[in-house]
Amino acid sequence: DQQVKQNSPSLSVQEGRISILNCDYTNSMFDYFLWYKKYPAEGPTFLISISSIKDKNEDGRFTVFLNKSAKHLSLHIVPSQPGDSAVYFCAARGAQKLVFGQGTRLTINP
Amino acid sequence: DTAVSQTPKYLVTQMGNDKSIKCEQNLGHDTMYWYKQDSKKFLKIMFSYNNKELIINETVPNRFSPKSPDKAHLNLHINSLELGDSAVYFCASSSTTGSYEQYFGPGTRLTVT
């Protein structure tokens, strides 16, 4: 039933290393894929997007990879910084709406 | 200045009561949304409005009724509250309908006892 899933509820990474967050989807009609970041007591904020016709999009320390054949996307953060500690939501757009995953809590350890 | 604001931030109430959550955005956006974050942490869209017109109405009990007095406001009224309504409700807005860049409010944590 859930069209977008993040199977890792949490991830712990050492500061300076690479963080890799994963997301799987089932609907091949999605046209954009997004990552949102959420701090406690705040709403999610848009981080980065990728069109379904691309396989990579980079913005500074953040890179999103899309593998359409596997219906999988990932977010790479390098190098990871303490301020990156947050919950990351994967989302996909289809039929004028966003479908979100359940989030992965990323903790960056000093 | 908060871009998308919601009131109240916390709401504790008893089953059977009626309550409202208010949302306001000062971004000049045309489209506003209500999302529910359930116990499994999925963020699910409930409604979207474009210029006060209902665009998306997901499978939501009709005890939930959105009201948009103008394009800067989208309120959510819930009748006859049930235990399963306990969740965090997020309001969001975007410049156009279906835009993937949405701006979220801080959320309202509703607890029904």
Digit-coded pLDDT (tens) for A64-109 = 999 999 999 999 999 999 999 999 999 999 888 999 999 999 999 9
Contact between B42 and B102 under an 8 Å Cβ cutoff? The reply is: no
Q: N- to C-terminal Cα distance for chain B?
A: 34
Q: Quote the pLDDT of residue B64.
A: 95
Question: Does the pLDDT of residue B1 top 90, yes or no?
Answer: no
Q: Touching check for A78 and chain B: CB below 8 Å?
A: no
- Asked if A46 and B55 come within 8 Å (Cβ–Cβ), the reply is no
Contact between A24 and A8 under an 8 Å Cβ cutoff? The reply is: no
Question: Does the pLDDT of residue B2 top 90, yes or no?
Answer: no
Contact between A46 and B102 under an 8 Å Cβ cutoff? The reply is: yes
Mean pLDDT, chain B, rounded, equals 93
Q: Touching check for B98 and chain A: CB below 8 Å?
A: yes
Section A20-29 average pLDDT: 96
Nearest CA in chain B to A47: B101
CA torsion angle for B31, B37, B38, B42 (degrees, to 10)? Answer: 90
Burial of B65 (0-12, 13-18, 19+ CB in 10 A): middle
User: Nearest by CB to A34, which of B41, B100, B105?
Assistant: B100
